[in-house]
Amino acid sequence: HDLANCQRKDGKSQATNCKGGALTVASIFSTQELNRWRVVLQMETQKPLMDYIKVCELLPHRPPLLLVDRVQSINFETLEIHAIKCVTGGESYLAGHFPGQPIVPGVYLVEGLAQTAAAMCFANFERQGEAVEKKCMLTGLDEVKFRRPVVPGDVIHYYAKYERHRGPFVWFTGMAKIDGEVAVEAKFSAILARAPKV
């Protein structure tokens, strides 16, 4: 808490105890580094709605193409979801993209958004007591914008929102954020076993 309020004029945050002024950590961290630690601490203290095991029960995907680690929250009234993926650096798709400078391919970020949206729909089916085939496939992408690279050590926060459906086709909007900064945003559609009731 104290670390979060100690800002230097050059944009960096100094690790001091603001109340007493005494240096408590012999280091100086950038604001981005402190933001990352805040996210980690928040993840440790905020119990997720669904852990990794539950996500595996909900989604048909499996590593290395399971791109959601946990679901933090779902608003079943507005059909919005917040999920998380931690980029460890050990992901197989980083080996060649790019050697010596690993960056998560944009297609994996979009797929992560789609899986996040699918998790929300499947969770909504379960909540309504409906047994459905767990199948979700992307059918369209629109207005996809990549704002910043995603690299090992980043914690991806996926946000997706249901917009409308027609038959088995469902439309969503979504974005992925790193340290509060938008990394990708998109409108996308998918085909499900059936569409969620609203």
Cα dist. 33→15, 96, 148, 192 in Å? 11, 26, 16, 39
* Mean of the per-residue pLDDT values of the chain: 83
Look at residue 13 in the predicted model and tell me its pLDDT.
46
CB atoms near residue 16 (< 10 Å): 17
Judged against a pLDDT cut of 70, whether residue 137 lies above it is answered with: yes
What is the chain's alpha carbon radius of gyration, rounded to the nearest angstrom? 19
pLDDT tens digits for 139-159?
A: 999 999 999 999 999 999 999
Peptide bond into 122 cis (omega under 30): no
Judged against a pLDDT cut of 70, whether residue 23 lies above it is answered with: no
In the block, residue with structure tokens 């990794």? 52
Q: What average pLDDT does this structure show over 126-142? A: 86
| Cα distance between residue 116 and residue 39, in whole Å | 19
- Among 66, 76, 46, which Cα is nearest to 116's? 66
Give SS3 for 158: strand
| Cα distance between residue 70 and residue 110, in whole Å | 17
pLDDT tens digits for 153-176?
A: 999 999 999 999 998 899 999 999
Domain spans in the chain, listed from the N-terminal domain onward:
3-45, 52-192
pLDDT tens digits for 32-67?
A: 555 555 555 555 457 889 999 999 999 999 999 999
Q: What average pLDDT does this structure show over 177-192? A: 96
149 backbone dihedrals φ, ψ, rounded to 5°: -70, 155
Q: What average pLDDT does this structure show over 95-116? A: 96
Give SS3 for 12: strand
Q: Tell me if residue 97 is catalytic.
A: yes
Judged against a pLDDT cut of 50, whether residue 194 lies above it is answered with: yes
Look at residue 129 in the predicted model and tell me its pLDDT.
86
The CATH code belonging to domain 52-192 is 3.10.129.10
| Cα distance between residue 174 and residue 162, in whole Å | 9
Cα dist. 82→21, 99, 120, 174 in Å? 37, 31, 9, 10
Look at residue 88 in the predicted model and tell me its pLDDT.
95
Look at residue 4 in the predicted model and tell me its pLDDT.
43
Judged against a pLDDT cut of 50, whether residue 9 lies above it is answered with: no
- If pLDDT is split at 50, 70 and 90, which confidence band does 130 have? confident
Judged against a pLDDT cut of 60, whether residue 6 lies above it is answered with: no
Whether 15 contacts 23, CB under 8 Å: yes
Catalytic residue among 82, 97, 157, 165: 97
- At a CB cut-off of 8 Å and minimum separation 6, what does 24 contact? 2, 15, 16, 17
Judged against a pLDDT cut of 60, whether residue 106 lies above it is answered with: yes
Look at residue 136 in the predicted model and tell me its pLDDT.
86
